[in-house]
Amino acid sequence: MTRYWLEHAWLRDGVVNAVLVEERDGRFAEVVPNVRIAPPDAIVLRGLVLPGLANAHSHAFHRALRRRTHGDGGTFWTWRERMYAIAGRLTPDSYRQLATAVYAEMAAAGISCVGEFHYLHHQPDGQPYAEPNAMGLALVEAAAAAGIRVTLLDTCYLAGGLNSEGHLALDGPQIRFGDGTATAWQTRVERMAPGGATPLDGHARLGAAIHSVRAIPRDQLPVVAAAAGRNALPLHVHLSEQPAENEATIGHYGHTPTELLASADALGPHTTAVHAIHLSERDIDLLGSSRTAICACPITESDLADGIGPFPALQRAGSPLCLGSDQHVEIDLLGEARRLEQHERLASGRRGTFAPDDLLRFATEAGHHALGWADAGRIEPGARADLAAIDLASVRTAGAEPAQIVMCAAAADVTDVIIDGRPVVRDRQHRLGDPGRLLAEAIGAL
């Protein structure tokens, strides 16, 4: 049993001062507000303490591209070629090293759980490793080393693209992404399910993903959706990130990507659509009425010139919102939350579409729910004991009201992080050392 005294804490009713929490076996046992003097046996956390943040969409290997793709401008599609080049170089060992560093950077930013959208499955020539899930298990091991939880969103990726003529064959680095059929993907993935040959450890959960309707032919979509439902796995999918995806899907199928997913029974409260930028009114209604969650990644979406999504309309229609750092231009969930509101201000000419409490909820409870950890993201009895302390006296936060801290705080303001009751970051020091050094070593090796 460990007790923590929180100078300020964000609870269900907002910011509360002087909160004493008791942790037992990795969960909050008691949460007592207005304890004016810290007990002598309590660990004191200064500043504003949040529940651990949840990063609902990550591609760990994209971190190697940070600020290396801007010299010649280009588009999303030219950026993608640089991404494929990195994808072709990784091995289970180098991926474990890189992902450990990336997840340590996340933990230092207050993130307690990550959804890893994973499609680097096989050897560069497309042949399986001796352990068919060697790359996915490397990610699980990396998360354990960095001290965070992970939902491994194992991704079905069968085609190299889509145009009006149909789906293209996998080519070049894409070859290692593919399992041939959705049934073969399912067979490989179920090795990691409970009772399989290589079940995941307790800090990790299995999820499923449809890369996109560009990458999976229509007749294969129901197989992935049914496998996710049968195994009670969260299902994630890239959706309408670029207009070209919509144009190709309508050109070939006569339906939008959202309509195609709906026809495959791939939408619903256990599904999260990532990006969802270029949507029709019917798309919004299909997503909202099915209670499909939406993961916005506004920093990546601005970096790749994706556009500004109709997130307020999606929320009004019934879709919960959460956040991800995607290609890791920055790993800063508070910044992602703030950018969501700022983008809407630019689009609408109004301030305050999303209140600070809304933004914090997207970055905490909603993200955990989308990743299958419904018992996390809240500071209350019975929830997982995740805490992230934010400095209220930095150059960014000094003078701010604690209740509005999401509008100014950054990852650099996170001082202490507790995950499942275990200290992972203390006084801005990750338990593995400096994440910057780890990242430099891992990226330098590539």
> Sign of dihedral through CA atoms 42, 47, 48, 52?
negative
* CA distances, 93 to each of 48, 99, 139, 163 (Å): 38, 10, 10, 36
Strands 166-168, 429-430: parallel, antiparallel or unpaired by DSSP? unpaired
Separation CA 341–CA 347 (nearest Å): 10
| DSSP labels, 302-338 | HHTT-----HHHHHHHT--EEE--BT-SS--HHHHHH
The alpha carbon of residue 411 and the mean position of all alpha carbons in its chain are separated, in whole angstroms, by 16
Separation CA 368–CA 205 (nearest Å): 12
Among 252, 275, 343, 430, the active-site one is 275
Considering only CA atoms, which of 262, 187, 191, 284 is closest in space to residue 227? 187
Decide if 326 is catalytic. Answer: yes
* CA distances, 401 to each of 146, 409, 414 (Å): 32, 11, 16
Please identify which residue in the block is written with the tokens 């490397």: 138
E strands, 315-413, are 321-323, 387-390
Nearby residues of 13 by Cβ (< 8 Å), 6 or more positions away: none
Structure tokens at 414: 């996170």
Instruction: Report helix, strand or coil for 135.
Output: helix
118 burial level (CB within 10 Å; 0-12, 13-18, 19+): buried
Among 303, 326, 386, 413, the active-site one is 326
Q: What angle do CA 207, 365, 97 make, to 5 degrees?
A: 50
Catalytic residue list: 275, 326
